[in-house]
Amino acid sequence: MSPEIGIIMGSDSDLPTMKDAIAICEQFCIISEVAIISAHRTPERMVEYAQTAHERGIKVIIAGAGGAAHLPGMVASLTPLPVIGVPVATRNLQGIDSLYSIVQMPAGIPVATVAIGNAKNAGLLAIQIIASHRPELLKKVQEYRQSLKDMVMDKQGKLEELGYQEYLQQHLQ
């Protein structure tokens, strides 16, 4: 089977953030391809990747970048596929610069943008996009959501059982 989700990043320093997108794809048994593609240092590679991704079977591209964070927007301008941008935190501005760069796209070239550093949500969104056409995957997404609900309800039960002070000592410190 060929990859359905492309996970790209501007630099290897983005990998600690982007690993969460890779991991959630693995959890849902979705094959992804992972690549370092710099909008500024390897622009020809970026153009080729973006223009041919759909021909290779990619359905959604997740692009993470920090600083100027041009990768998601440039890729979106070159591909017919949905692009999800992940703003990567930077040393000086903690990712606010990346967020602003990714979210401020001109009309006609959308990039879905998740919170700073939230590659897991980018992966989940990509999976949900694919699941909209695959009932078996949609069922997995529904089961995942149910597990989140169950987790919260378990925590509520423990809170009621222990009281807030004991709960804090056991679970949040």
Q: Is the pLDDT of residue 1 over 90?
A: no
Q: How far is CA 146 from the centre of its chain?
A: 20
Query: Phi and psi at residue 88, in whole multiples of 5°?
Result: -100, 135
Identify the helix (H) or strand (E) that includes residue 45: helix 43-52
For the chain, counts of helices (H) and of strands (E) = 7, 5
Identify the helix (H) or strand (E) that includes residue 50: helix 43-52
- Stated pTM of the model: 0.94
pLDDT of residue 171: 85
pLDDT of residue 173: 67
pLDDT, the chain, mean? 97
pLDDT of residue 168: 93
Sheet of 60-66: strand order equals 32-36, 5-9, 60-66, 83-88, 112-113
Which residues 6+ apart lie within 8 Å of 173 measured at CB? none
Distance CA 86, CA 135 (A): 27
The per-residue pLDDT for range 24-76, each reduced to its tens digit, is 999 999 999 999 999 999 999 999 999 999 999 999 999 999 999 999 999 99
3-state secondary structure 92-147: CCCCHHHHHHHHCCCCCCCCEECCCCCHHHHHHHHHHHHHCCCHHHHHHHHHHHHH
Distance CA 137, CA 147 (A): 15
pLDDT of residue 107: 96
The per-residue pLDDT for range 149-164, each reduced to its tens digit, is 999 999 999 999 999 9
The per-residue pLDDT for range 83-132, each reduced to its tens digit, is 999 999 998 899 999 999 999 999 999 999 999 999 999 999 999 999 99
